[in-house]
Amino acid sequence: MIRLKGLYIHVPFCVRKCNYCGFYSVDEFDEGVLNRFVEAVVAELRERIPFLKGSPYTLYIGGGTPTLLPAELLDKIVDSVFSSLGEPREFTVEANPKTVSLKRLARLREMGVSRLSLGVQSFNDRLLKVLGRVHTSFDARSCLEWALGVFDSVNADFIFGIPSQNLEELEADLREVLGFPLSHISYYGLSVEEGTPFASWIESGVLTPVEDDLWAKMYDTVRLTLTEAGYNHYEISNYARCGFSCLHNLIYWRRREYVGLGPSAVSFVSGRREKNVDSVKDYISSYESGASFEREVEVIDPDKECVEAVMLSLRTSRGIRVSELTECGGLMRRVEELVSLGFLEVKGSFIRLKEEFWSVSNRIIAEIV
């Protein structure tokens, strides 16, 4: 059986970097940089085609804000992918509600995008300002309505556990999101990333993080509200209507092979993890100088492979195959202990984390690995 592979393209340009974001992105660039970036991505695609050719694949263009690329430049990337690999099984593009119009959404659909992912984060304007988002709640509502009129598959990203957020504000967001017929909802607990404004503000006492008990209460509120509304909770932070789970992200959680293009993008091919340089300037220079694209390479040994399989698989409702664990020695023994303690359960040929413990999944997984 030929397994599905993934192709991720990182477009690292933003209107303004959000206060919490730890992903590589830049908010100072000009038209010339955008053109040179696209030329470099197309060149890197040509270099990576042998890893993808002949396999069904998913395409995910994220960032950053991919919709900051002019339509003709995004077209150039997509045309290069399609002409080299054919059409993907699933094609997702991320968008910021401030950077798209109804006309631009229609253009994305004509381009072949089958799934739109909107970074809403909240409908609360106060919290959007805390997060440093450039859009307003009005922008988010308008964009969701447009998107649902254009695409059959629309995801909206939300965040809970925002400093100063209370449970009532979270419940208000949940009531509003359920007013939109979304096929997929990603609801992430805020994590404070080193080097972000949030990290420095919390360290200096300007911001106070949400307490652990409230964070867990918020997580369970999201989980129960969305599952009671009919969404399948298929991964710790992801909820989907039947048939609308994100195929691309499932490739990551199941440790399938994928290729990443663009600055800071990561690939996992032939048992190796390869990470591109974290710099638009250096990424473009590699292409324009005729040199190979600069990448950090890590060979995944069997022990690390076991650890990653546990960490990723236990994030999902499916869990990890028992047959995978039998090859992992000591990890298997710790898993069996957690089954006996009632944190994990056996379902057919899989072992999975019980859903009532998903709010503390990091602690439980840490006990294993």
Give the pLDDT confidence of 119-158 residue by residue, as tens digits: 999 999 999 999 999 999 999 999 999 999 999 999 999 9
In terms of domains, do 99 and 209 share one?
yes
In terms of domains, do 322 and 227 share one?
no
In a domain, 245, yes or no: yes
pLDDT of residue 1: 66
pLDDT of residue 2: 78
In terms of domains, do 179 and 324 share one?
no
Across 98-107, 210-219, 356-365, least confident range: 356-365
In terms of domains, do 236 and 309 share one?
no
pLDDT of residue 207: 93
Spell out the residues 6+ positions from residue 168 whose beta carbon is closer than 8 angstroms to its own: none
pLDDT of residue 297: 94
pLDDT of residue 340: 93
pLDDT of residue 368: 85
Per residue in 80-124, pLDDT (tens digit) is 999 999 999 999 999 999 999 999 999 999 999 999 999 999 999
Mean pLDDT (whole number) for 266-291: 94
Give the total number of structural domains in the chain: 2
pLDDT of residue 330: 76
In a domain, 181, yes or no: yes
In terms of domains, do 225 and 345 share one?
no
In a domain, 293, yes or no: no
Nearest to 8 by CA among 246, 240, 234: 246
CATH number of residue 141's parent domain: 3.20.20.70
In terms of domains, do 249 and 318 share one?
no
pLDDT of residue 369: 81
Q: Could you list the residue range(s) of the whole structural domain that residue 333 is in?
A: 302-368
pLDDT of residue 294: 83
In terms of domains, do 108 and 176 share one?
yes
For residue 324, pLDDT over 90 is answered with: no
In terms of domains, do 87 and 193 share one?
yes
Across 46-55, 162-171, 192-201, 327-336, least confident range: 327-336
Please identify, among 253, 285, 315, the residue that sits at the C-terminal boundary of a domain: 253
Per residue in 39-53, pLDDT (tens digit) is 999 999 999 999 999
Mean pLDDT (whole number) for 173-202: 96
In a domain, 271, yes or no: no
Mean pLDDT of the chain, nearest integer: 95
In terms of domains, do 219 and 331 share one?
no
pLDDT of residue 367: 86
In a domain, 261, yes or no: no
Mean pLDDT (whole number) for 320-338: 86
- Supply 306's token pair: 């076991």
CATH number of residue 342's parent domain: 1.10.10
In a domain, 276, yes or no: no
Q: In whole angstroms, what is the distance from residue 73 CA to residue 262 CA?
A: 14
Across 148-162, 250-264, 314-328, least confident range: 314-328
In terms of domains, do 194 and 120 share one?
yes
In terms of domains, do 216 and 307 share one?
no
